[in-house]
DNA sequence: TATTGTTATACTCTATAACTATA
DNA sequence: TATAGTTATAGAGTATAACAATA
């Protein structure tokens, strides 16, 4: 970025550019794989995967959204799509009548199983094949730190609600 | 991802999750900053930044697109937006009459200058503040490798055209 | 014939605000 | 009053295919 790079060191710039490049290319490839293999968008895959890992495959809408979707209406939209396809069910929470609980169905787990091998293969081929075990460890450590920092810095200029929406 | 994680080591999974988390949160924050500070989308910022670094601030459409936009019509759309705002100009190439050359205007450079300090500040605060100099060097090295690998693996199942769209 | 770019079109996704209902 | 979620609506962005023009 030429002169505008003042404020970042050369190494920082290099790391940032590499990060954005990897992020963009990897995301694009992965999205294509998920679409081709299971007709899932990346967001839908993330939501299903999250539910698949949750106890009983169930999560409240609010907890499901975290980090994946940045507006509540966006989550409602995606949850509707998944429900229409029979990959999740939605129902009221027994504990808190305001809440909606989303649950993965068997079909939802099948969709994950269908998509997952290709997903892993893509990651291995596109990302990990170029890295040593030590690289991967370093990457996990460093990005883990960065993730912690980002989590601790919620988007500023907060809006109406604190948790989900923006 | 529970049992479905077979095929990736625990460390690989950890690295991948951290990567997606950082990518998502950072992108979201940066997009907000660019929008607030200069009414630019992330894609528009990338296009302007690329032009700002190019000799004479000029690039052919095809060269401008690389890695930023994945369809030719998408680039045309964004270039139109930038041209309407006076941030770039478009004109025919003298060498190849088929080509369109895009050039940053002074207003375009001003827009970059307006947005850049906040952009750098966000990166410093959200990403680099948590990392040591050695971390940043490692990150640049590792992600540089990964980027090379990704560049060498163009999106498979190629389509109509080879370079940009597909 | 292949390449560069534009246009028309349809579609996906996201965000804002207004609204309902429960705590 | 605050929280959880939905709905209506509008807007931004992307992709595909058909197209025109030049190499």
| CATH number, domain with residue B92 | 1.10.10.10
Give the residue among B62, B60, B50, B95 at the shortest CA–CA distance from B161. Answer: B62
pLDDT beyond 60 at A84: yes
Residue B165 forms part of a structural domain: no
Of A25, A140, A153, the CB nearest to B125: A153
Q: How many domains does chain A have?
A: 1
B80 touches strand C (CB under 7 A): yes
B41 is in which domain, residue-wise?
A: 8-152
pLDDT band for position A2 (cuts 50, 70, 90) = low
**A82 φ/ψ angles, rounded to the nearest 5 degrees:** -65, -35
pLDDT of residue A4: 64
Min Cα–Cα distance to chain B from A144, Å: 5
Residue B95 forms part of a structural domain: yes
Residue A1 forms part of a structural domain: no
Chain B 70-129, CB < 7 Å to strand D: 70-74, 77-78, 81, 96-98
- Secondary structure (DSSP) of A46-103: HHHHHHHHSGGGEEEHHHHHTTT-SSHHHHHHHHHHHHHTTSEEEEE-SS-TT-EEEE
- Percent with pLDDT over 90 in chain A: 86
Residue A50 forms part of a structural domain: yes
Q: Report the mean per-residue pLDDT for chain A.
A: 91
pLDDT band for position A1 (cuts 50, 70, 90) = low
Residue A161 forms part of a structural domain: no
Residue B162 forms part of a structural domain: no
A75 touches strand D (CB under 7 A): yes
pLDDT of residue B160: 38
Could you report the per-residue pLDDT of B73-114, keeping only the tens digit for each? Answer: 999 999 999 999 999 999 999 999 999 999 999 999 999 999
pLDDT of residue B159: 37
pLDDT beyond 50 at A154: yes
The average pLDDT across A23-33 equals 96
pLDDT beyond 60 at A156: no
Give the residue among B17, B146, B14, B12 at the shortest CA–CA distance from A46. Answer: B17
Give the residue among A111, A63, A61 at the shortest CA–CA distance from A85. Answer: A111
B77 touches strand C (CB under 7 A): yes
CA–C1' span, A139 to D10, in Å? 41
Could you report the per-residue pLDDT of B29-78, keeping only the tens digit for each? Answer: 999 999 999 999 999 999 999 999 999 999 999 999 988 999 999 999 99
pLDDT band for position A155 (cuts 50, 70, 90) = low
pLDDT beyond 70 at B165: no
pLDDT of residue A33: 96
């Amino acid at each position: 970025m030429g002169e505008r790079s003042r404020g970042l060191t050369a190494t920082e710039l290099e790391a940032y550019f590499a990060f954005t490049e990897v992020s963009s290319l990897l995301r694009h490839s992965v999205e294509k794989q998920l679409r081709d293999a299971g007709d899932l968008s990346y967001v839908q895959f993330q939501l299903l995967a999250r539910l698949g890992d949750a106890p009983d495959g169930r999560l409240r809408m609010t907890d499901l959204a975290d980090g994946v979707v940045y507006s509540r209406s966006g989550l409602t939209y995606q949850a509707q799509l998944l429900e229409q396809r029979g990959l999740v069910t939605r129902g009221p929470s027994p504990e808190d009548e305001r809440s909606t609980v989303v649950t993965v169905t068997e079909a939802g787990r099948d969709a994950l199983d269908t998509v997952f091998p290709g997903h892993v293969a893509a990651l291995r081929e596109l990302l990990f094949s170029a890295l040593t075990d030590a690289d991967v460890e370093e990457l996990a450590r460093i990005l883990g730190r960065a993730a912690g920092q980002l989590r601790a810095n919620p988007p500023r200029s907060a809006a109406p609600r604190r948790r989900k929406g923006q």
